[in-house]
Amino acid sequence: MPTPPPRSAPLRPALLPGLIGALGLVIGAVVPAWSDWIVSSYLTSILALIIVVFAAQGRQWLWIIPMFAVAVLWNPVYPFGFSGTLWAAAHILGAAAFLATGLLMRVPPQESAGRAA
């Protein structure tokens, strides 16, 4: 009787983009008068949308909501005029959303199409 192949551990495709996005938002909160805020805005929005794609591909629908909200709030095309203490707190909450998504979103590994049964 052949033994079944070992089960692979779930993947965490959003871990690296989540860590980079959280780092970018924390830097944005610490340095609020940063002259290159547009770079931070692009970085945050693009990484959030990358995580949205990973979540949709892995059918992890719950994680799409906070990441899409981050992508909209930090979008560089039509920026909102937020500033002050509440905006700095939003940076910390956005960083927490990036970290939570990166650490907790797990996607089962996809089966190989060429594997014989």
46: tokens are 């693009």
pLDDT at 37: 75
pLDDT at 82: 81
User: Residue 101 in contact with residue 18, Cβ under 8 Å?
Assistant: yes
pTM listed for this prediction: 0.82
User: How many CB atoms are closer than 10 A to CB 12?
Assistant: 17
Could you read off the pLDDT of 22-45 as tens digits, one per residue?
999 998 888 766 666 788 889 999
- Asked if pLDDT for residue 56 goes beyond 50, the answer is yes
Residues 6+ apart with CB under 8 A from 73: 80, 82, 90, 94
Could you read off the pLDDT of 75-88 as tens digits, one per residue?
988 888 787 888 88
pLDDT at 98: 97
